[in-house]
Amino acid sequence: MTNIILTTESGADLPKDVVESETVKVVPMHVIMDGKDYLDGSLPVEDIFDFYNRTKKIPSTTATNIHEYEQFFNDIKAKNPGSVIVHIGYTSKASSSFQNCVIATEEMDDIYLIDALNVTGGLAAIVLYAVNLLEKEPAIEPEKLVEKIQNIVPKSRLAFVPGSLEFLKAGGRVSNMAYLGGALLKIKPCIELKDGKLVSTKKYRGKMSVVIEKLIQEYFNQYNLDKEQLFFIYSIGIDEKIKKNITEIAKENGFENITWLQAGAMISSHAGPGGLGVAGIEKE
C-alpha cells in the first residue's frame, strides 16, 4: 500500500489539532512587519493588529518560496522513503506560492500538485475532504485520490465579510475594489472566491450581527451543500454572541459537523480583526 502524505500551506488555516498531529504537513507562508520576516504560524495574530494600531500600517505577506518548498518536500521524502506527496495548494490566482511549488518540484518524483483555487476555510474544506477520504480508503491509489480531490475543487464555496476594509484594500487581493467604495456609507461587502479570485459579490448594510446572519442564510440558500461538514472562519475580535447565533442557524439547517477555524496571521493581515466567513462543499 502506497504511503500517501498530504501537504498544504499555512494559509489553509487548518484546525490546530490537525496541524499538531501532522495529519497534514503544513509549510508556512510569511508575514512582514517593520522589515522583519515572520513565518506564519509562529507569530501571534494579536501582534498583527497591535502593529496596525501602533503604526497605522498594514503588514505585508509573501508566499512560500522555491527554496523553502524544496527543503519541505525533501525533508518529507527523507523521513518517509517511498512515499507519495499530494500537495493541495493555496490559489494561484492570489499568490505566487503555487507557482513556486511547481518550480521547486520540477526535478522531484512522486509529487502531485493540486491548485485548490481557494484560501483559508475554502482550502481547508478541500484538504480535510482529502484527509477523510484517505481515512475511509487507506488503500486508494494516488492517481484516484488526486482525481477525486480535483473534482471537488470547483465545489468548495467560501464567502466572508471582512472585519476591516482597510486591511483588505491594503492587501490588494480583491479584483473589484471599486465596489468597496461603499465602505464610506458603512456598507459591508461579501467576498467570495470565483475561479480562484477574491471578488466582492454583494453588499450589506447594518450591524455585524445582522450582516453575518444575512450572509449565512443567503449562502445556505445559494448552494446545495453537503450537510456532513461546515466550516466557519473567524478573525480575532468577532463577538462570541455572533458565533453562537450562526452555529445554531447551521444546526437548524441540518449541518452535522461544524468546525470553527481561526484565521492565522497571514490571512488576518488581509481580512483584519472581527471578520467572519463560511465554507463548505457542494454535493457531487
Q: Over the stretch 269-284, which tens digit does the pLDDT of each residue have?
A: 988 899 999 999 999 7
Binning pLDDT at 50, 70 and 90, where does residue 179 land? very low
Q: Identify whether residues 195 and 107 lie together within a single domain.
A: no
Q: Identify whether residues 25 and 110 lie together within a single domain.
A: yes
Q: What angle do CA 49, 166, 119 make, to 5 degrees?
A: 80
**pLDDT (0 to 100) of residue 178:** 47
Higher pLDDT, 180 or 195: 195
Q: Identify whether residues 144 and 161 lie together within a single domain.
A: no
**pLDDT (0 to 100) of residue 280:** 98
Q: Identify whether residues 266 and 191 lie together within a single domain.
A: yes
C-alpha cell at 207: 450591524
Give Cα 178 to chain centroid, integer Å: 24
Q: Identify whether residues 17 and 89 lie together within a single domain.
A: yes
Binning pLDDT at 50, 70 and 90, where does residue 181 land? low
**pLDDT (0 to 100) of residue 173:** 53
Q: Which of 151, 174, 197 is the last residue of a domain?
A: 151
Q: What CATH number should be reported for the domain holding residue 124? A: 3.40.50.10170
Q: Which of 151, 178, 206 is the last residue of a domain?
A: 151
pLDDT per residue as tens digits for the range 38-56 = 999 999 999 999 999 899 8
C-alpha cell at 109: 518524483
Full-model pTM = 0.94
In-domain check, residue 69: yes
Q: Which of 114, 132, 151 is the last residue of a domain?
A: 151
In-domain check, residue 41: no
Please compute the mean of the pLDDT values over residues 236-257 and round it to a whole number.
Answer: 95
> What DSSP element (H or E) covers 102?
helix 97-104
Q: What is the mean pLDDT of the chain?
A: 92
In-domain check, residue 55: no
Domain tally, the chain: 2
User: What are the C-alpha distances in Å from 212 to residues 5, 105, 166, 198?
Assistant: 36, 41, 19, 18
C-alpha cell at 259: 468546525
pLDDT per residue as tens digits for the range 190-202 = 889 999 998 888 8
Which residue type does 254 have? Answer: G
Q: Identify whether residues 11 and 144 lie together within a single domain.
A: yes
Nearest to 261 by CA among 246, 272, 276: 276
Three-state DSSP state, 5:
strand
pLDDT per residue as tens digits for the range 102-160 = 999 999 999 999 999 999 999 999 999 999 999 999 999 999 999 999 999 999 999 99
In-domain check, residue 57: no
* Phi (first) and psi of residue 206, to 5 degrees: 130, -175
Q: What CATH number should be reported for the domain holding residue 190? A: 3.30.1180.10
Q: What is the domain range of residue 15?
A: 4-31+62-151
Q: Identify whether residues 160 and 272 lie together within a single domain.
A: yes
In-domain check, residue 76: yes
pLDDT per residue as tens digits for the range 194-238 = 999 988 888 888 889 999 999 999 999 999 999 999 999 999 999
Q: Identify whether residues 67 and 18 lie together within a single domain.
A: yes
Q: Identify whether residues 230 and 243 lie together within a single domain.
A: yes
Binning pLDDT at 50, 70 and 90, where does residue 99 land? very high
Contact 70, 278 (CB under 8 A): no
Higher pLDDT, 239 or 165: 239
Nearest to 29 by CA among 40, 14, 45, 43: 40
Is residue 221 classed exposed, middle or buried when 0-12, 13-18 and 19+ CB atoms within 10 A define those classes?
Answer: exposed
Q: What angle do CA 163, 252, 205 make, to 5 degrees?
A: 30
